[in-house]
Structures are given as C-alpha cells and as structure tokens.
Amino acid sequence: MPRPPALPAREKTRLVLSVLAKECTVSEAARAARVSEQSIANWRRQFLEGGSAALAGRSAPSSTEQREAALVAEVHKLKQALGEAYVEVMAWRRTGDYRQVPSRSSKQYERN
C-alpha cells in the first residue's frame, strides 16, 4: 500500500506557485515544507505538465492510467515473446531437433 502524501495538494500547489512566482527558491520552499528539493522540483514539473495538458484540451494521465498503459505494453511484449517461442518449438518439432532441448523429465531437471 502506498504511503500517504507528505503534504496535501493545496499546500503543494501553494509552494509550487510561490516558486514559479519567484517569491522563494526551490531550496527555501523545500526547507519551509521539510521536504527534499527534488520533491519540489517534481511537484513543479507535474503542475506544469498538468496545466499544459488542460490548455491543450485533455486531462493529464493519472498515475493509475500510466501504470495500466505500462502493464498493457508489457503484456503485449510477453505475448509476442511467447508467440516467437511457440514458433521456434514448432520448427524444432518439424525438423526433429526438439530432442536437443532438455525436457522436464530429463536428468537435468530432476530434483534431489
């Protein structure tokens, strides 16, 4: 289970806007909120990306949507690899070379 956010979204927005307005530096904002400078930089990047997406007429993808897209891509790659392995096994069977591939019943795979 992910840990809860360090700060509420409203506080993050306030910090990012103060950095963008040059009211304070990233390091000053980080010290005031007791977070890392990297966190402030990430929040600023996320804020700007979300605003750009909204102005372009689309919403920024949520982390869940991004994770789902990554998993779909991974499933696609795994299906492709499985298909290639299947074709290779079928080719071995047709040529008689499958005997070179150790089977689960061979001594190499026996458990002691």
CB 12 within 8 Å of CB 41: no
CA max distance for the chain: 75
Please tell me the predicted confidence (pLDDT) of residue 37.
93
Residues 64-74 have a mean pLDDT of 89
Torsion of CA 13, 15, 18, 22, to 10 degrees: -130
Please tell me the predicted confidence (pLDDT) of residue 61.
67
Confidence grade of residue 111 (pLDDT, cut at 50, 70, 90): low
Q: By CB neighbour count within 10 A (0-12 exposed, 13-18 middle, 19+ buried), where does 15 fall?
A: buried
